[in-house]
Amino acid sequence: MKRFYKKAAAEPVAGMDGLYQVVLDGRPIKSPAKADLILPGKALAEAVADEWEAQGEKIQPAAMPLMTYVSTAVDRVEPQREAVAAEIASFAASDLLCYRADRQPDLVEKQEAAWTPMLQWAENRFGGSFTVTNGIMPVAQPNTTLMLVAREVGRLDSFQLTALHTMTTAMGSLILGFSVFDAHKTPDEAFELSLIDEDHQADLWGRDEEAEARRARLKEEVRSAQRLISLLGTA
């Protein structure tokens, strides 16, 4: 799409304290589903406006991750917030960090060193215990833990859920997603922890170009989602 505006900016929404919108040549933008794109805070609105302002002669949606996230929050998450929260919470039942190798002692050692401290952090964070197993056969997590996790996820608003969902799916771990959400780990630190198995196999058999491209894309998604979280916490 060709750029059709000269100036992008953030403006407060009249009569709605603390809420902002992005305007293109003075006209508020809408979400892809034509909903009003009302954003919680000046910092987030300015960051989205900056993405629009940075566009060249042609608009490149892929270069506007924050715009994508806020649109997703408004169009897809808010109308079904409880269902999205339940989907995110369900990752706790099969979190990556709970599944360890069973026939590769050197990999088990790496997993133990990297993941066990994260599980301990998560148990303190949520107030429940996680069950660890060796192999790929499913293991049931304590119902109390699953309920505690679901309660925490259910407290988040649509923008926070969008960010957490992105990170959780990118890393295959709700625990790692929350570690970034809580600023316990940086996006890069958490993402590297999610790749213990992948890195071990790559060290044995070599790296694949397609896998490396996917890895770079997912890493950037985690970074962008963390930026959304940080902007939500800024007035």
Q: 8-61 has which CATH code? A: 3.30.2180.10
In the structure encoding, which two tokens stand for residue 29, read together?
């933008």
Tokens 């197993």 correspond to what residue? 133
Fold match between domain 8-61 and domain 80-232: no
Domain map (residue ranges) of the chain: 8-61, 80-232
Kindly give the confidence (pLDDT) of every residue in the chain, 235 residues in length, as a single tens digit, with 9 standing for 90 and above: 899 999 999 999 999 999 999 999 999 999 999 999 999 999 999 999 999 999 999 999 999 999 999 999 999 999 999 999 999 999 999 999 999 998 899 999 999 999 999 999 999 999 999 999 998 899 999 999 999 999 999 999 999 999 999 999 999 999 999 999 999 999 999 999 999 999 998 888 888 888 899 999 999 999 999 999 999 976 5
Distance between CA atoms of residues 166 and 143, nearest Å: 25
Q: Could you tell me which CATH number the domain at 80-232 has? A: 1.10.3580.10
DSSP single-letter state for residue 10: E
Angle between helix axes 81-89 and 158-171 (nearest 10 degrees) is 30
